[in-house]
Amino acid sequence: MTYISSLAFPAHLVAGPRSVTILGSTGSIGTNALEVIARNPERFRITGLAGATNTSLLAKQATRFRPRRLGVLTTEKARELTALLPAGYSPEIVVGQEGYMAMAQDPDADMIVSAQVGAAGLAPTLTAAQAGKVLCLANKESLVLGGHLIRKACASTGSVILPVDSEHNAIFQALSGHDLHMVRRILLTASGGPFRTRSLSFLRTVTPEQALKHPNWSMGAKISIDSATLMNKGLEVIEAFHLFGTGPETIEVVVHPQSIVHSMVEYRDGSILAHMGVPDMKIPIGYCLTYPERIEHDLDHLDFATLGTLQFEKPRRETFRCLDLAFQALAAGPSHPVVLNAANEIAVQAFLDRQIPFLGIPALVEAALDQHTPRPLDSLEDILDLDASTRTFATHHIATSPGSPG
Ligand SMILES: NC(=O)C1=CN([C@@H]2O[C@H](COP(=O)(O)OP(=O)(O)OC[C@H]3O[C@@H](n4cnc5c(N)ncnc54)[C@H](OP(=O)(O)O)[C@@H]3O)[C@@H](O)[C@H]2O)C=CC1
Ligand SMILES: CC(=O)[C@@H](O)[C@H](O)COP(=O)(O)O
Ligand SMILES: [Mn+2]
């Protein structure tokens, strides 16, 4: 068993300033990463910034950090972006998946922050791993889809993955310096989302606005809905499996409504190491960006006396079915998680667009998994084919299902 160990971290990066490319710089993780970088200018140089559609924000970021490369989703967006850049600054602007992949292997960049949302993050993340980059990985979907390929690439190039996702960052910190064979359980904490205590009949009626209100974290729309269905935790179980390689049976989910304990590792001697902190992504982002050093943030300190109680409880698996669907997909082999993820992405967007109800999300994911015949996934193309055909199935299912699924 292996996991991303500090031993493999490139020595020249420990001492010197780091050249960083951020894919998804206009999102919640991307903007937080740039805030951390802006507070520590002596440590970083920005080599590339990529958004998708938000050209006004990307232009502002580019004007401030002056990278040599920018990325957007379409040629129309590239034209829009060009018009927004100041005179005398002419970065290369790349477009679409090929452009993001080029940025992910930019020879000028030491670190790639993978912070795009969804399956779109897979190809650039895999490219960065194949190019031997240090990867600050927020895009959990890339591991869900292609964890086996990414691990293989890391093993062959020496690419190091530093987990940005708060739980995995917590586990990474709790594992540091310890023997993986002595791990008894990885305890992934889940807030339970905005509907943690709600009944199934309440869930039938919830709106996107209600589902987007995460109790503790401020995040992008897709992950916020995933938190509300517990699919986020399901994806994180698969992410943990690929990152730490301890086997699905060692990974447990425990609901912790305060999101103060970000996850825990239990060792065979009975010791449990927990990582705690205020729920602010600048902490795990900063940990990755400056690894193995720590930096100071301007954040509230935890006051345990004021906090009073930290609660822990079992997830309500019958009500929030996405968690079990993810465990089942992980057990079923490498192609089921691709189906799980693609159907979920279509379902989340359809829910946000008010085409299906909240409970239509697990219903659609289950329907997609039920029709799937497992297959080997030996290449990126295999994964992208299955991702595309599942999206077609899911879209057709929504269009042709009588009434509301769920
Ligand atoms: N937000 C958080 O606190 C956490 C997020 N994560 C993970 O990090 C990733 C990013 O999440 P988050 O920052 O919340 O998401 P956001 O929705 O806030 O941002 C997504 C980013 O991806 C870009 N993007 C959207 N569609 C595409 C596409 N098709 N191709 C390339 N880029 C695209 C967006 O560009 P634009 O806006 O310009 O269109 C934006 O820069 C997700 O995988 C999420 O699960 C993990 C842990 C915590
Ligand atoms: C901040 C982060 O890492 C998110 O993945 C967060 O954990 C979501 O909260 P849930 O525990 O509600 O899924
Ligand atoms: Mn998380």
Q: Is pLDDT at 402 greater than 90 in this prediction? A: no
Assess if residue 87 is contained within a domain.
yes
pTM here is 0.97
For ligand 3, an ion, list residues with CB under 5 A: 165-167
Q: Name the residue with tokens 């019958």.
A: 318
| Distances 44 to 33, 104, 131, 289 between C-alpha atoms, Å | 11, 17, 20, 9
Assess if residue 169 is contained within a domain.
no
CA–CA separation, 169 and 119 (whole Å): 21
236: CA distance to ligand 1 center in Å?
Answer: 16
Same domain? 111 vs 214? no
Same domain? 183 vs 319? yes
Counting from 1 in the atom list of ligand 2, the atom nearest the Cα of 262 is: 7
Residue of 207 and 16 predicted with greater confidence: 207
Counting from 1 in the atom list of ligand 2, the atom nearest the Cα of 214 is: 12
Same domain? 236 vs 381? yes
Both tokens of 126, joined, read 């895999």
60-70 per-position pLDDT tens digit: 999 999 999 99
The three-state secondary structure class of 264 is: strand
Q: Is pLDDT at 404 greater than 60 in this prediction? A: no
Both tokens of 225, joined, read 């809905």
Q: What is the mean pLDDT of residues 151-157?
A: 95
Assess if residue 114 is contained within a domain.
yes
Provide the pLDDT confidence category of residue 333 given band limits of 50, 70 and 90.
Answer: confident
Same domain? 159 vs 186? no
Domain count, the chain: 2
Q: Is pLDDT at 356 greater than 70 in this prediction? A: yes
Counting from 1 in the atom list of ligand 2, the atom nearest the Cα of 192 is: 12
Provide the pLDDT confidence category of residue 198 given band limits of 50, 70 and 90.
Answer: very high
Q: What is the residue type of 281?
A: M
Provide the pLDDT confidence category of residue 401 given band limits of 50, 70 and 90.
Answer: confident
Same domain? 82 vs 189? no
Tell me which residues have their CB closer than 6 angstroms to ligand 1: 24, 26-30, 51-54, 73, 115-117, 120, 138-141, 165, 217, 219-223, 281
Which of 164, 189, 208 finishes a domain?
Answer: 164
CB 270 within 8 A of CB 176: no
CATH of the domain at 87: 3.40.50.720
Q: Is pLDDT at 312 greater than 80 in this prediction? A: yes
CA–CA separation, 222 and 344 (whole Å): 10
15-51 per-position pLDDT tens digit: 779 999 999 999 999 999 999 999 999 999 999 999 9
Same domain? 206 vs 324? yes
Q: Is pLDDT at 140 greater than 50 in this prediction? A: yes
Same domain? 146 vs 232? no
Domain range for 31 is 6-164
| Distances 20 to 31, 81, 133 between C-alpha atoms, Å | 14, 21, 10
CATH of the domain at 214: 1.10.1740.10
Which of 140, 164, 188 finishes a domain?
Answer: 164
Same domain? 124 vs 236? no
Same domain? 272 vs 307? yes
Q: Is pLDDT at 129 greater than 90 in this prediction? A: yes
276: CA distance to ligand 3 center in Å?
Answer: 13
CA-angle at 405, arms to 400 and 406, nearest 5°: 170
Same domain? 194 vs 273? yes
Assess if residue 213 is contained within a domain.
yes
Burial of 270 per CB tally in 10 Å (0-12, 13-18, 19+): exposed
Assess if residue 171 is contained within a domain.
no
Q: Which residue has the least CA distance to atom 8 on ligand 2? A: 227
The three-state secondary structure class of 183 is: strand
Same domain? 158 vs 290? no
Assess if residue 405 is contained within a domain.
no
CA–CA separation, 307 and 322 (whole Å): 30
Annotated binding site for Mn(2+): 165, 167, 236
Question: What percentage of residues in the chain have a pLDDT greater than 90?
Answer: 92
Q: What is the pLDDT of residue 4?
A: 56
Helical H segments across 165-265, by residue range = 166-175, 200-203, 208-211, 221-229, 231-244
Q: What is the pLDDT of residue 405?
A: 46
| Distances 252 to 97, 149, 161, 196 between C-alpha atoms, Å | 35, 24, 22, 17
Q: What is the mean pLDDT of residues 172-177?
A: 94
Which of 131, 164, 197 finishes a domain?
Answer: 164
Assess if residue 316 is contained within a domain.
yes
239-281 per-position pLDDT tens digit: 999 999 989 999 999 999 999 999 999 999 999 999 999 999 9
Assess if residue 204 is contained within a domain.
yes
Give residues with Cβ within 8 angstroms of 168, minimum separation 6. Answer: 236, 239, 240, 243, 244, 263
Same domain? 38 vs 112? yes
